[in-house]
Chain A
């Protein structure tokens, strides 16, 4: 199946600093990638949709100036948490659509998830 990587796996930073998380599709090209956040014992909440070559689409309540998304190529999207604070501590997960995945439906391509990045802001 399609493989998505994320880097770093975990990061600890001081309050006020910025953290960049990378999401890569390793064996397919992804025009669309998604960024989710998951707090303990809660489900995944979509933060934004990252589109290659255009601006990201943010979900309601997600600050676009705080969570900067760049989708510079068909295999890489980055999420930068700017001026991180302790309440930003969470598990950040990216996913990518593989439109050529076997058995994928025509209008809703299967999303494959990266391994996640655990962010702890002190």
Chain B
């Protein structure tokens, strides 16, 4: 199957670091994507991983372990504007399959 699991909700404090985990059970994915979605808006692309390891992009980093079917998105120096839903998506040659999203709330 192509189950993608991520926590439903997370809460963190402004300025802190938060890690959002994503696990998947499939052999059909060629890459693992992370998207950010604010309420009422379309998702915006954050990062992708094709190879194992850590990809860093400013305050955001994403990690992938293909053998473990595991990825995480790391957000540093949290800001209030980071409150949003974060979607993990597995990519195949044909399509993206999305997880249910993790709603992150950043508190002052």
Whether A108 sits at the interface, judged by CB under 8 Å, is: yes
Per-position contact with A for B44-67: 1 when CB-CB < 8 Å, else 0? 110010100000000000000000
Q: From residue B74, how far is it (CB to closest CB) to chain A in Å? A: 18
Q: Are A105 and B91 in contact (CB under 8 A)?
A: yes
Q: Are B30 and A105 in contact (CB under 8 A)?
A: yes
Q: From residue A65, how far is it (CB to closest CB) to chain B in Å? A: 22
Whether A75 sits at the interface, judged by CB under 8 Å, is: no
**Residues in B24-40 with C-beta less than 8 Å from chain A:** 30-31, 33, 35, 40
In the complex, which residues of chain B have a beta carbon less than 8 angstroms from the beta carbon of A43?
87, 98-101
Per-position contact with B for A91-106: 1 when CB-CB < 8 Å, else 0? 1010100000001110
Whether A113 sits at the interface, judged by CB under 8 Å, is: yes
Whether A54 sits at the interface, judged by CB under 8 Å, is: no
Q: Are A107 and B45 in contact (CB under 8 A)?
A: no
Q: Are B48 and A34 in contact (CB under 8 A)?
A: no
Whether B16 sits at the interface, judged by CB under 8 Å, is: no
Q: Are B48 and A110 in contact (CB under 8 A)?
A: yes
Q: Are A108 and B44 in contact (CB under 8 A)?
A: no
CA distance A87 to B16 in the complex (A): 41
Range, interface on chain A: 20 to 34
Q: Which of B42, B95, B101 contacts A93 (CB 8 A)?
A: B42
Closest to A94 in B: B42
**Residues in A1-24 with C-beta less than 8 Å from chain B:** 1, 6
Given contacts A107-B30, A111-B45, contact A46 B95 (CB under 8 A): yes
Whether B13 sits at the interface, judged by CB under 8 Å, is: no
CA distance A107 to B51 in the complex (A): 13
Whether A67 sits at the interface, judged by CB under 8 Å, is: no
In the complex, which residues of chain A have a beta carbon less than 8 angstroms from the beta carbon of B40?
91, 118
In the complex, which residues of chain B have a beta carbon less than 8 angstroms from the beta carbon of A103?
48
B residues near A (Cβ < 8 Å) are: 30-31, 33, 35, 40-45, 48, 50, 87, 91-101
